[in-house]
Structure 1
Amino acid sequence: MYPVTLDGQSIAKKREEIRAYFHNTFDLFEKVFELLKDESVFYKKSEPTRHPMIFYFGHTATFFVNKLINMKIINERINPEFESIFAVGVDEMSWDDMQEGHYKWPEVSEVRAYRNAVRTLVDELIIHLDFTLPIRDDSSMWIILMSIEHERIHIETSLVLHRQMPIEFIKEVPEFNLCKHSSDAPQNEMIAISGGEVTLGKDKTHNLYGWDNEYGDYSEVVEDYQVSKYLVSNGEFMEFVNESGYEREEFWDEEGLEFLKKSQVKYPHFWVKEETTFKYRALSKIIDMPLDWPVDVNALEAEAFCRYKSRKESRHYTLPSEAEYELVYQHSNLKDVPELHESRANINFYHYASSCPVDEFSFNGIYDVIGNVWQWSRTPIRGFKGFEAHEAYDDFSIPTFDEKHALILGSSWASSGNLIMKHSRYAFRKHFFQNAGFRYVITTNTQHKSEDIYETDELISQYCEFQYGDTHFGVENFAVSCAKIADKYAHNKTKALDLGCATGRASYELAKTFDEVEGLDFSVRFVSVGSKLKEEGYIAFSSKEEGELTVNKKVSLQDLGYEKLAHKVSFWQGDACNLKPNFNSYDLIMATNLIDRLYNPRLFLDTVDARLNDDGILMLTSPYTWQESSTKKEFWLGGYKDGNGNEVKTIECLKSILDAKFDLLHVEDLEFVIKETARKYQHTISQVSVWKKR
């Protein structure tokens, strides 16, 4: 099925369109997992850097609930444990939790029952949620669409993981039919493409769902260039393999050589060596090598092939850029209306559940402009001008803006929904495997490379300045002050949790006296800053001066004096109201300016004692800025009058909640200053309360 349009029709018809799209997506996702031979395979990993398949089976359903909770569309969870352990996937980020001891996977039947409960919940919401047309990104129905499109992504990525499973763990499913024809690979050739000014991006009036990285604008002047007529086929790539391309270091860059060292591969991942010949691993069977199907490789292999071909032919071949691909798209007369693509592209399972010959689907003389396999580009994904992270899923794009995630272009046989749209932008690490291959270009257009990646997100930059920048008006750095107070009252200093750690400064400060510190924040946008400081030794950010004027700043571990203690600090993404079980046994939990930002602060306070050791310290700081955009008023812990007209103060409410399990040791006011511009600052007073667990 194709994506839901955001406008047109009546509300009633739109509801039915969304319901049909939702159930089709849910059904197709579950059909993918029928490929697993039996339930024992759900607990196997297709490769070491991923979770077992049971995680992915539960993940897409918990995504619906977690986003609906976070956006305050629903108030109650279905299964808090599942919605914790299945919450965060894996992109080889430092905050991805891959320690098996932290997970106790449930039975497959339990996850199926959970998925059914989620299906019922979402179906009811689609029927009853109020919304207007056109649907925009501030609509509750947008969160439903976001969750559906998220599951569409996992339909494809789960198929890749299943394809990576040993064949004995996979069975054939009739609905996933393979292409049954192949022959010799066609001779590739170059097609001339006229250059011009390219504008990328779309605005919020676009009539189809989009991820946050698709919005905004970017312009680039592209010179004339040439593009290959076909995707690189297995037959064309075979020459590289036969000439020991995987063993010749001159064809591989530093990252590529590291990939070769770790993997010890000599040929593509989905090729199967049998004596002197190669077979091909399709989704559910091993077949004779289809020489005219596109080769499935990662970006590092694609780049190595381009260097090999350049050396051999004394011409400069490389992968296309995002802007060059846009000109190919225009040359092909493709429109961003998927119905026109349906019958003449290998997408959306329309023809096959596999690749097919590279000379089967022509687009004005260039084949597979969309479909068959994704095409690696040489462009790292970056936000367009005007980029804004969507608050419901702020970790979809921002963690990939690291110059390490390359854009994939054009969709594959397994792509559907937003994945087949012209404006869709997806990116993966270069060593990842997807349903992805490549085509090459001959070009003089250069790719801009960034030495330092300056954080330009206004909120994150502001917090970087707040935690790592200058002090103002004689007020000490707030993170440093908080760590000092925590150190004073925590007598046992084995392990601390910096909850609501933001960009991580207090986590490092606590590490001066604690043996181990975990910094945790709901937002990956924040977590990634502290993590980058640890992993790369520096952070760089833009501090706003006035209007559009900014000053770039860079701070290193050495500047801060943290180089010898960074190993004691780790950073994680998590929900303070629904933490994973492994976040426990702390001597200190410091929740900084967090209470009045939680969707259910009472839930956090009622359970936090279980995560502290005996005599452990709970330290809360907050300016008590209660607002319904963060916390529904029914969950406020203060800042209102009760039914008798009496004022309810937060500190008194905290005492009534915590008194049964904690002794109140200390209360003080602590001021902090946040710079907005060179001449505008926020001066705030936070109340600190320190509690000792009985």
Structure 2
Amino acid sequence: MLQLKDKYQSVRSRSEQICTSLETEDYVVQPVVDVSPPKWHLGHTSWFFETFILIPFVKDYKPYNTSYPFVFNSYYESFGKKIIRTDRGNLSRPTVEDIYSYRHHVDTAMTQLLSDTPSAEIQTLTILGLNHEEQHQELLATDIKYILGHNPLFPPYEELVNQPINDNSEMGVIHVEEGMYNIGYKGNKFCFDNELNNHDVFLAAFTISKALVTNQQYIEFIEDNGYQRHELWHAEGLDWVKNNLISAPLYWHQINNNWHYYSSRGIRKIELNEPVTHISYYEAAAYAAWKGMRLPTEFEWEAASPRFQWGQRWEWTNSAYLPYPGYVREAGAIGEYNGKFMVNQMVLRGASIVTPPGHSRSTYRNFFHPHLQWQYTGIRLAQSGE
């Protein structure tokens, strides 16, 4: 199992690489409930391997610290009590140094396990654990940006990003004919259970933009009083705008009458031709309405995806996060991974510049609550009819 062991070591190393420019104090901060401290991500992903693989399958394995399941369990009710999510930033202990020691302890045991010939069950759980850690790598990157982007000093930092595969220069629209389209994962490689079951969906004719909406285009929406025009917004979206005084995407700042935004390079002038990012579903839908268009459904997005470039931004769709036909939640704790979140969230498709290489695919279903902005989210427009 040399290949799986190498993959394990590569993924685990990448999580730590994302944190290389952090100071010790940065690891502990939790500005809002949706953002977890970096040290918690590092501990939780280690807890996953320890809890799901090492403790049940390695006879002589000794857990690093018997208190850590309480600290690093996220939402797995099957494993008992855990700290309240909002309290993750209140933990001065365990220390950052101790969490890195914890990772080393887990990695040593996992590397030894994978050096032999583990059972098919262990291999399956390891692959799930690696994909789980890659999900947290993306969260870790965006959480670090939120933490530092809400520091009044706006410090620059090293960000591990993929080279953009979409330069947003491909203009025009794609026409998709009415018909039946195959949706969902089909193959024998890894996928998450929410990508199953593969099934056919009937789609009416539609068009979809080849390019993502740019900062320049979104500024035109702002300057046309887009945030004040109630007719463009969902009722909940308008309440969110008013209650939170939202007037621009996250990290945008007006300085000397010019739009700037925060990035890993600190505060800089907005690049007008870059795809707009860090917007909520509410904002994406309002912008689409302003253009006289709409967001694509996740099925339209998947059907058309071979014909446009994607991967710079997670793209909001107009689909609620629901199970596919025939979906059955896995038994036990693994069944808590996706199924229990299939309510009150919207689906995003694609990937972003901080998605680990090779982690996403055209059938991948990301999902977030409609008010959230902190991920690298963007807009692709669609319209009914040919």
TM score, norm. by length of structure 2:
0.87
Normalized per residue, the structure richer in strand is 1
Assess if the C-alpha contact under 8 Å between 2:321 and 2:347 holds in 1. Answer: yes
Q: Flag the structure with more relative contact order, 1 or 2, with Cα contacts below 8 A and sequence separation at least 6.
A: 2
Residue 110 of structure 1: CA displacement?
Answer: 0.6
Select which of 65, 82, 105 maps to 1:117: 105
What RMSD, in angstroms, separates the aligned Cα atoms of the two structures? 2.7
Distance 2:238 2:84 in 1: 26
CA deviation string 1:143-177 (max 9, x = no partner): 11111111101111111111112344644338659
The equivalent residue for 1:193 is 176
Structure 2: distance between partners of 1:294 and 1:165 = 22
Alpha-carbon deviation of 1:388?
2.4
Matched, 1:305 2:283: no
Task: Spell out the pairing of 1:322-337 with structure 2 (5 A cutoff).
Answer: 322-330=298-306, 332=307
Q: Which structure 1 residue ranges, 5 or more long, are not aligned?
A: 1-14, 133-138, 311-316, 333-365, 446-694
User: 1:41 matched to which residue of 2?
Assistant: 26
Please state whether the residue corresponding to 1:246 is helix, strand or coil: coil
**Residues 1:140 and 2:127 are matched in the alignment:** no
Q: Is residue 128 of structure 1 aligned with residue 68 of structure 2?
A: no
Q: Which position in structure 1 is the counterpart of 2:370?
A: 430
Instruction: Tell me the residue number matched to 1:439.
Output: 380
Kindly name which structure, 1 or 2, has the bigger radius of gyration based on alpha carbons: 1
Contact 2:156 2:264 in 1 (8 A): no
Contact 1:33 1:57 in 2 (8 A): no
1:166-181 maps to which residues of 2 (within 5 A)?
166-167=148-149, 168=153, 170-173=155-158
The normalised TM-score by structure 1 is: 0.50
Determine helix, strand or coil for the equivalent of 2:276. Answer: coil
For residues 96 and 394 of structure 1, the distance between their equivalents in structure 2, rounded to whole angstroms, comes to 21
2:13 paired with 1:27:
yes
More helix by share: 2
Query: Does the C-alpha gap of structure 1 residues 399 and 87 become closer, same or farther in structure 2, counting only changes over 3 Å?
Result: same
Structure 2 gaps, min length 5: 77-81
- Equivalence map 1:357-506=2 (5 Å): 366=308, 368=309, 370-391=310-331, 392-402=333-343, 404-416=344-356, 419-433=359-373, 434-443=375-384
Q: Partner of 1:191: helix, strand, or coil?
A: strand
Query: Which of 300, 305, 320 is equivalent to 2:296?
Result: 320
For 1:52-67, list aligned pairs within 5 A: 52-67=37-52
**Structure 1 SS opposite 2:264:** coil
Check conservation: 1:193, 1:328, Cα contact below 8 A: yes
Structure 2 CA distance for partners of 1:110 and 1:81, relative to 1, 3 Å? same
User: How do 1:603-614 residues align onto structure 2 when only pairs under 5 Å count?
Assistant: none
- Which of 63, 83, 96 aligns to 1:77? It is 63
Give the letter for the 2:119 counterpart: F
Q: Which stretches of structure 1, 4 residues or more, deviate above 4 A after TM superposition?
A: 101-104, 174-179, 185-188
More deviation, 383-392/284-293: 383-392
Secondary structure at the aligned position of 1:294 is classed as coil
Q: In 1, distance between residues paired with 2:94 and 2:338?
A: 30
- What is the identity percentage for the equivalent residue pairs of Structure 1 and Structure 2? 20
Which residue of 193, 206, 210 maps to 1:225?
206
Letter in 1 for 2:4: I
Secondary structure at the aligned position of 1:165 is classed as helix
Tell me, yes or no, if the aligned pair for 2:281 and 2:371 is still in contact at 8 Å. yes
1:532-571 → structure 2 map (5 Å cutoff): none
Alignment correspondent of 1:687 = none
Flag the 1:247–1:85 CA change in 2: closer, same or farther, 3 A.
Answer: same
User: What is the CA–CA distance in structure 2 between the aligned matches of 1:113 and 1:187, rounded to whole Å?
Assistant: 48
Q: How many equivalent residue pairs?
A: 370
Q: Secondary structure at the match of 1:281?
A: strand
CA contact (8 A) 2:35 2:146 kept: no
- 1:435 counterpart letter in structure 2: Y
The residue that corresponds to 2:225 in the other structure is 244
**Conservation of the 8 A alpha-carbon contact between 1:163 and 1:284:** no
The structure-2 alpha-carbon separation of the partners of 1:141 and 1:186, relative to structure 1 and needing over 3 Å to count, comes to closer
Deviation at 1:414, TM superposition (A): 1.9
**Aligned pairs for 1:207-226 within 5 A:** 207-226=188-207
